[in-house]
């Protein structure tokens, strides 16, 4: 894997179209694997709403004379005083395998720590060929099942706890 060091910053509504393109690209692969998700059809308006209602972080890389390209994104949501939810992790298909997803997860975890959250959690398809292991390799543990009545697959809830001395 060739590591890329993206600049990660809070996304702004004027970046919603670029982020929507990243989400459509990233989640298209999941559909091909049998795990369709709404993010595959994300519009700029929907992503702008995510940015206004939650916190969305964009991963940007230097694109030379044209400035920066957005190549990834992640959303965080406060679900209760002690926990933060990580969702909508995406890396554009052209940039997968370069460590950008790992950097975005680490960024979300650092937000949780700075905010003194006890844990960060997420849902992911249980039978996905690489996502559950991606998170387990980063210290996430399965805490419960998350059945989906509207899909042909179920998800699991994974959580990473932060001991007090790590916050």
User: 92, 22 in Cβ contact below 8 A?
Assistant: yes
Query: pLDDT digit string (tens) for 148-158?
Result: 777 778 889 99
User: 137, 41 in Cβ contact below 8 A?
Assistant: no
User: 113, 165 in Cβ contact below 8 A?
Assistant: no
Q: For residue 131, what pLDDT band results from cuts at 50, 70 and 90?
A: very high
How many residues belong to the chain? 167
Whole-number Å distance between alpha carbons of 103 and 106 = 5
Task: Specify the pairing of strand 141-146 against strand 155-161.
Answer: antiparallel
Average pLDDT, the chain: 90
Q: Which of 128, 122, 154 lies closest to 29 in space, CA to CA? A: 128
Q: Is the pLDDT assigned to residue 79 strictly greater than 80?
A: yes
Query: pLDDT digit string (tens) for 98-124?
Result: 999 999 999 999 999 999 999 999 999
Please name the residues in contact with 80: beta carbons below 8 A apart, sequence gap of 6 or more: none
Q: For residue 30, what pLDDT band results from cuts at 50, 70 and 90?
A: confident
Question: pTM, whole model, 2 decimals?
Answer: 0.90
Q: Is the pLDDT assigned to residue 167 strictly greater than 70?
A: no
Q: Is 96 helix (H, G, I), strand (E, B) or coil?
A: coil
Q: Does the domain made of 7-166 have the CATH classification 3.40.630.30?
A: yes
Please name the residues in contact with 79: beta carbons below 8 A apart, sequence gap of 6 or more: 85, 121
Count of other CB atoms within 10 angstroms of residue 109: 21
Count of other CB atoms within 10 angstroms of residue 112: 24
């Amino acid at each position: 894997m060739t590591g890329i060091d993206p600049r990660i910053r809070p996304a702004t509504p004027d970046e919603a179209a670029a982020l929507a393109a990243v989400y459509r690209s990233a989640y298209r692969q999941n559909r091909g694997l049998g795990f369709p998700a709404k993010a595959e059809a994300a519009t700029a308006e929907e992503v702008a709403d995510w940015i206004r209602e939650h916190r969305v972080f964009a991963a940007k890389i230097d694109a030379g004379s044209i400035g920066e390209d957005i190549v990834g994104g992640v959303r965080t949501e406060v679900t209760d005083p002690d926990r933060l939810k990580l969702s909508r992790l995406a890396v554009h298909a052209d940039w997968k395998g370069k460590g950008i997803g790992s950097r975005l997860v680490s960024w979300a975890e650092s937000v949780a720590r700075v905010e003194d959250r006890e844990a960060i959690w997420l849902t992911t398809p249980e039978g996905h060929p690489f996502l559950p292991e991606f998170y387990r390799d980063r210290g996430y543990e399965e805490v419960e099942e998350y059945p989906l009545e509207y899909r042909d697959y179920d998800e699991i809830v994974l959580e990473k706890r932060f001991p007090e001395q790590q916050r």
